[in-house]
Structure 1
Amino acid sequence: MIRKKIGVLAATSALAAGTFLLPMPAGQALTSGNVTAQTVQQLAASTRPTAQNPFLVGAGVSDMTGEVAEVGFLGYATPSQNGSGVHTRQYARAFAVIDPVTGKGNLMITLDAMSGWESVRAELVRRIRAQFGSQFSEANIMLTASHTHATPGGVSTDSAYNVTTLGWHEPTFRAQVDGAAQAVREAMADLAPGNVTISQSQLTGVGVNRSAVALERDPQELLDGLINGVDPTSATLRFDHNGVTRAVLNWFAIHPTSLTNQNTLVSSDNKGYAQYLLETVDHGVDLNAGGDDAAFIAAFANSNTGDVSPNTNLRPGSGPTDDQYLNVKIQGEKQANAVRQQLTAPGAPVGSGLDARIQYADFSAMKVDARWTGTGYAGNTCNATLGAPFAAGSTEDGPGAAGFNEGVNANKVWSDFNWLAYSASQSLKDCQYPKANLFDVRSQIQQKLPIQIMRFGSYYLLGLPGEHNGAVGVQYRQDMAQLFGVDPSHILVQGYTNAYSHYVTTPQEYMSQQYEGGATPFGINTMGAYRQMLNTVGNSLKQGTALPIGDKPTPRTPLKSTIGKVLYDLPGVGNYYGKVLTQPLDTTRGGTVSAVFVGAHPNNNHKLNSSYLEVQRYENGRWVKVTADNDPDTRFKWKRHLAAQSRVTIEWIIPANATPGQYRLVYNGDSKKALGAITSFTGVTNPFTVR
């Protein structure tokens, strides 16, 4: 399917469905470059809904890979985890749905990133509204992320998240916003008569609860919604064009932390591998060549995943195997297979009607009614702090600072000998009890947070910032199902949305003060505050009343970093850019082939919708691309050599089903001169034989 030819495609679909579309000028297709608010409104106005195609639906994807070298990764907060290349690239995917009858629409964007940050959302909303006008607003634009930890940081304006990244990184921020905006344009250009359907199943044996000590304290009615402490729900919205699934958006609760804090290659981790299987393996999509012609788009977002680890042996990088890159494939393929199975049967239509609401609230100073606290008493939230168990880290995914431990009173030595770290005011101590306050972060993280709900027929998508534990998500589903009068399966829980707010535990889990409880910043009533806000936003949606935007945070100006900035490159005496220092050897299928090149700094060019490397095969007298750097079986590794020189290693794990023959490795680089001029170059190895 060539989506740039949407004018022809949409007209064909419309004729089949008995609808009418706006005419396009002769020879002109609706592309992402010329789609406007007017064309979208004309399309909606001229479309007659049918039972098979009640909506206009579209999907888009675009590369958003940022700086891959010498920028601190975000997620583990490990200072030594600085980028050194690419395992897989990172993409933004967008899904647009418009109701031609009411003119209302919902727009969802998912990123291969740690979170959907407020900073990215604010700029993205501004751009979308500038191009599409009143079609979209704060309420019906939702930004989320897969939560991969193998991602360059420095994209949040909140200083707490820029410590280990050594500041704000404008190029990576710009790459994420530009990629997301382009994905939205592609989705709008892809609009055609269609439907939104849903498939759901249970997926077990993938993740493991990493906080069993806290979980065992939860009420039985919440535990009953989990299997072995993990939410098994795999829910997939399917975006259909005339009865054929065009794109999917899946939610399943699991951390994309198969790659450890020792990994320094940019990657989309296990959820990215699931996307790769559905898009590239199943549908032949080559995202290295750009996403505008993608025949199928698959996004794997996250749910109530706060206490769910993919490391089933409860050790970083261990589970199911002790090979972290193999674990990426195993855990990703399980998620992909669940969706593959769902796609073997038609999805259930979500029903008619679209709507959305959003409201910001100050979570540091909220009075929470006893109905929502889960303790039986009314309470308050607190100014944000992170406790000593937070410093311990999640030992199952990525241990934190040495000497810190999880649990109440587990850090008494620190409190005795480092009393200054625990010297919060008595009122704050009382509010956060029993947390041992370590960091007062009220001015360093976002405290005014957005709560968003989107309606798709009789299904409701909860867009929530932060990381919500499994039992917390069960509670939200029960609350919202009762409010909207639907089965809990009609409530979709999504974290990492529109902002980041650390963890949310049940009050019972909070009292245990494991890592997640220590990282619940607003105190024991944090979950209650979310429940109360969901009820407020949900009631407005249910009753069709207007809802004010609420208390939005004041934009912050971050301190920009020079880390990762390239001054100039040098090839070294007697060398030239692209020179092959180590040639690849003949290799059997299943083995790994590699080459070393004289390189340049990869931050000179992010290679968006392109690639730092190619594997080529000799066919019929010419070299043909076989794969590139979005392939999980390739590795692009960069290393600084001396002061301004670079060495690049390209590796390819040859698939067992690779076609035997002559191959070569190609390195695509860009060098920078002292005065700033950037020049592209290519390095090519000698041919080698794959047997």
Structure 2
Amino acid sequence: MALQLILSLLLLPVVSCSAPTKYLIGAGIYDITGPAAEVNMMGYAMLEQLTNGIHFRLFSRAFVVADAENKTRFVFVSIDACMGSQSIKLEVLKKLKDIYGSVYTAENVVISGIHTHSGPGGYLQYLLFDITSLGFVKESLDVIVDGIIESIKMAHDRLQPGYIFFGNGTLLEANINRSPSAYEFNPDKSHYEHNVDKQFVLLKMVNEKGKGIGMINWFAVHCTSMNNTNGLISGDNKGYASFLMEQHMNGLGTIPGQGQFIAAFAQSNLGDVSPNTRGAFCADTGLPCDYNHSTCHGKNELCRGIGPGKDMFDSTKIIGQKQFAKALELYNSANIPLVGPVDFRQAYVDMTNFSLEVDGQTVHTCPPAMGYSFAAGTTDGPGAFDFIQNDKKDNPFWDAVRDLLKTPSAEQVKCQHPKPILLDTGEIHEPYDWQAPIVDTQLLRIGQFVIAPVPGEFTTMSGRRLRHAINETLKLAGFPKNTQVVIAGLSNTYADYIATFEEYSVQRYEAASTIYGPHTLNAYIQHYKTMARDLATGNPTSQGTAPKNLVDDQIPFLRPVLFDCHPLGKHFGDIHEDVNKTYKINETVTVQFWSGNPRNNLMTNATFLTVMQQQSDKEWRVYRTDAFWDTKFHWAHTSFLGCKSLATITWDLGSDVSTGNYRIHHHGYYKPLLESPEPFEGTSSVFSVTS
């Protein structure tokens, strides 16, 4: 063992008596930003919320962990996307097989989304989720799949001996329960101090010399600090926390995605957890919304959650900073070494008719269906029309609209009770399945630490019950008493929400979106307990039948870019409005260029903008790109149906900006009619920044 590591262990305030197990560890990162124009954002399901630029870029972060003999390994991938999906994982597995053969399979690959609602959509496996994105968007899927592959390749190539340490803490004032009236129906609520998990769990990965390789943490909070009026691609609060941690560890000014240290702020049981910590208020009166229904004057549209900041950017920054600060604290103090083998279990489960025993009776899950309160949305993103949360009554008008698609069978109505069915998605199979009949479930082990990737959004209490069931099962089967279990949400498959049986009876948004009926959670618990026993005893888990890859069945409706144009006498990249000659710290630099559609070239692992700083030798170096927090790239057509467009680039001059001379470059591609896109570049005038 390296002397530096020994000394660092001795200096820690509390040291485990167990010697750390040596693992092989590798971390990788790659850009997955995707189409920055005209593509519907995944999360809020609003047709009008289209990408129109970039706040900061999205990344895939991969972590390969293997035993010291390199016999058993898994890869955990955290993506700055709304969720993992079966289409993504199935496509990733195909490419990994071509590269590595049987090294990476469905059993040891996990893809977990951070749940940003500010990323391009159109990449999910099932029809319901691609309706608002006007069908399948190949560019969205391809950039995520390719980025995951590149991040795994990097992690694979960087494998090196090292150690993993565990840290656990409490983070307050960073999340609240957005459905507290439903949570109160849980009889076990008295076992917990808070109605959301405040637990912040972290893994610290270092090499043999004690140098940081990376870290993964899990904390439950929705990435909905950026609201449904936003069109700029953003990693929201978790993406910003990753940016801060990687800047801290790699050095301020390091181009995001190019540093050696990689920090994933992964998602957990976030189902009913909001970052809008001031609560939900009526936009017209400023008064609190109705407690049970989250309405104002009987309507849902005006009831909105309010973040801690003055606007959505400020709120994103605050919640991101809180997660970063807690992660840094735990990273610096993590002192519990992981000790023991690397292992995993995985199974495909048909959730449409899963039989189980509850209170001495045989019950079963149902084919998927969405309830009325699903259409009401949440306080993070209200719905429309006259839907409200906590609605358990049918409406003749909406039933008639529903029946145009599919009238639910009597068996389905009984199975889903007390949910009134708005969309009978599980009984519709045209043009292909609307929601997942089969889900991908997993358990990963590093010594006494167990990750439970789950295929959806478990509510706070659902996650607690599942975590407890797995933990108790493992310990009864011989795992150490200090075993730690963490829920990794939105992994591999997206099967919507998982509410408790009691929350389901209330039918707020999360329960109305619990698609397999009232016994969904208990079915998951029973299945994960089986996998946990297999993991603990060394027995194999029956893998089940993999779902069909529906990529070739997908239907796209997003029109291609036909051509770009510019005003007479101008060229692509010419300035429309130039910068000022001088700026002071805390001011914003703005420049506009005549541009082409960002969909002509996604500029993956590149940038649509660079801020260049003049050096003492008069040479210019890259100071900022569109992956930084303080820059924004905004793109817009100059007319509704026109071919002309403008790119507006802004740079907020924070206190960390050096004084001196700068200029801003815009990079892009334009599309000539009937020809392939061509590159262009534009440059602002030189300007000075003074203190």
TM-score normalised to structure 1 length: 0.89
**Which 10-residue stretch deviates more, 572-581 or 414-423?**
414-423
**Which 10-residue stretch deviates more, 359-368 or 478-487?**
478-487
Shift of 1:257: 0.4
* 1:230 alignment counterpart: 196
* 2:447 alignment counterpart: 457
1:380 aligns with 2:364: yes
Shift of 1:426: 2.0
- Residues 281 and 591 of structure 1: CA distance in aligned 2, closer, same or farther (over 3 Å): farther
Matched-pair contact (CA < 8 Å) for 1:104–1:135:
no
Q: Distance in 2 between matches of 1:636 and 1:502?
A: 32
**Which 10-residue stretch deviates more, 457-466 or 418-427?**
418-427
Q: Secondary structure at the match of 1:327?
A: helix
Superposed counterparts of 1:100-179, under 5 Å = 100-101=68-69, 103-179=71-147
1:309 aligns with 2:274: yes
Q: Distance in 1 between matches of 2:121 and 2:472?
A: 39
Residue by residue over 1:564-618, the C-alpha shift from the partner in whole angstroms, topping out at 9 and shown as x without a partner, is: 6222211231210111111122332112121111000111111122211112222
1:575 aligns with 2:570: yes
- Among candidates 290, 293, 297, match of residue 262 of structure 2: 297
1:438 maps to amino acid: L
* 1:30 alignment counterpart: none
Q: Distance in 1 between matches of 2:472 and 2:587?
A: 55
- Residues 121 and 588 of structure 1: CA distance in aligned 2, closer, same or farther (over 3 Å): same
1:647 aligns with 2:646: yes
Matched-pair contact (CA < 8 Å) for 1:67–1:564:
no
Superposed counterparts of 1:478-493, under 5 Å = 478-485=468-475, 486=480, 490-493=484-487
- Among candidates 244, 267, 270, match of residue 277 of structure 1: 244
Q: Distance in 1 between matches of 2:65 and 2:569?
A: 58
Shift of 1:549: 1.7
* 1:389 alignment counterpart: 373
- Among candidates 351, 354, 359, match of residue 339 of structure 2: 351
* 2:392 alignment counterpart: 409
* 1:9 alignment counterpart: none
Q: Distance in 1 between matches of 2:537 and 2:109?
A: 20
Residue by residue over 1:430-485, the C-alpha shift from the partner in whole angstroms, topping out at 9 and shown as x without a partner, is: 11111110001113011101110011111111011110000111101211111111
Q: Distance in 1 between matches of 2:162 and 2:482?
A: 26
- Residues 415 and 648 of structure 1: CA distance in aligned 2, closer, same or farther (over 3 Å): closer
Q: Secondary structure at the match of 1:331?
A: helix
Shift of 1:675: 3.0
Residue by residue over 1:134-184, the C-alpha shift from the partner in whole angstroms, topping out at 9 and shown as x without a partner, is: 333221111111010101011113111110100111112111011000000
* 1:618 alignment counterpart: 614
Matched-pair contact (CA < 8 Å) for 2:86–2:492:
yes
Q: Secondary structure at the match of 2:486?
A: strand
2:75 maps to amino acid: L
- Residues 510 and 289 of structure 1: CA distance in aligned 2, closer, same or farther (over 3 Å): closer
Matched-pair contact (CA < 8 Å) for 1:223–1:229:
no
1:437 aligns with 2:402: no
* 2:672 alignment counterpart: 673
Q: Distance in 1 between matches of 2:148 and 2:179?
A: 34
* 1:252 alignment counterpart: 219
1:236 maps to amino acid: L
**Which 10-residue stretch deviates more, 50-59 or 418-427?**
418-427
Matched-pair contact (CA < 8 Å) for 2:338–2:449:
yes
- Residues 551 and 223 of structure 1: CA distance in aligned 2, closer, same or farther (over 3 Å): farther
1:467 maps to amino acid: E
Q: Secondary structure at the match of 1:174?
A: helix
Q: Distance in 2 between matches of 1:570 and 1:514?
A: 49
Matched-pair contact (CA < 8 Å) for 2:448–2:482:
no
Shift of 1:418: 5.9
Q: Distance in 2 between matches of 1:313 and 1:418?
A: 37
Residue by residue over 1:265-323, the C-alpha shift from the partner in whole angstroms, topping out at 9 and shown as x without a partner, is: 111000000000000244227675753xx221001110000000001133446210231
* 1:96 alignment counterpart: 64
Shift of 1:416: 7.8
- Residues 171 and 418 of structure 1: CA distance in aligned 2, closer, same or farther (over 3 Å): closer
1:553 aligns with 2:555: no
* 1:78 alignment counterpart: 46
Residue by residue over 1:372-430, the C-alpha shift from the partner in whole angstroms, topping out at 9 and shown as x without a partner, is: xxx66431101110000000001x10011221001133664756876847942222111
Residue by residue over 1:331-376, the C-alpha shift from the partner in whole angstroms, topping out at 9 and shown as x without a partner, is: 0010111111012224311111011111111111111222xxxx66
* 2:290 alignment counterpart: none
Q: Distance in 1 between matches of 2:451 and 2:315?
A: 30
- Residues 402 and 313 of structure 1: CA distance in aligned 2, closer, same or farther (over 3 Å): farther
Number of aligned positions between the proteins: 639
Residue by residue over 1:654-676, the C-alpha shift from the partner in whole angstroms, topping out at 9 and shown as x without a partner, is: 10232222222211111122233
Superposed counterparts of 1:44-55, under 5 Å = 54-55=22-23
Shift of 1:116: 0.9
Matched-pair contact (CA < 8 Å) for 2:402–2:423:
no
1:266 aligns with 2:263: no
- Residues 324 and 411 of structure 1: CA distance in aligned 2, closer, same or farther (over 3 Å): farther
Q: Distance in 1 between matches of 2:648 and 2:399?
A: 49
Residue by residue over 1:530-581, the C-alpha shift from the partner in whole angstroms, topping out at 9 and shown as x without a partner, is: 1011012112212212223203222223434252622221123121011111
Q: Distance in 1 between matches of 2:55 and 2:241?
A: 14
Q: Distance in 2 between matches of 1:619 and 1:458?
A: 51
2:566 maps to amino acid: P
**Which 10-residue stretch deviates more, 662-671 or 203-212?**
662-671
Matched-pair contact (CA < 8 Å) for 1:363–1:449:
yes
1:563 aligns with 2:558: yes
1:153 maps to amino acid: G
Q: Distance in 2 between matches of 1:305 and 1:169?
A: 27
**Which 10-residue stretch deviates more, 665-674 or 276-285?**
276-285
Q: Secondary structure at the match of 1:131?
A: helix
1:454 maps to amino acid: L
1:339 aligns with 2:322: no
1:296 maps to amino acid: F
1:632 aligns with 2:616: no
Matched-pair contact (CA < 8 Å) for 1:223–1:471:
no
Q: Distance in 1 between matches of 2:366 and 2:507?
A: 16
Matched-pair contact (CA < 8 Å) for 2:455–2:494:
yes
Q: Secondary structure at the match of 2:332?
A: coil
Residue by residue over 1:239-274, the C-alpha shift from the partner in whole angstroms, topping out at 9 and shown as x without a partner, is: 211123210011000000000111011110000000
Q: Distance in 2 between matches of 1:172 and 1:14?
A: 44
1:465 maps to amino acid: P
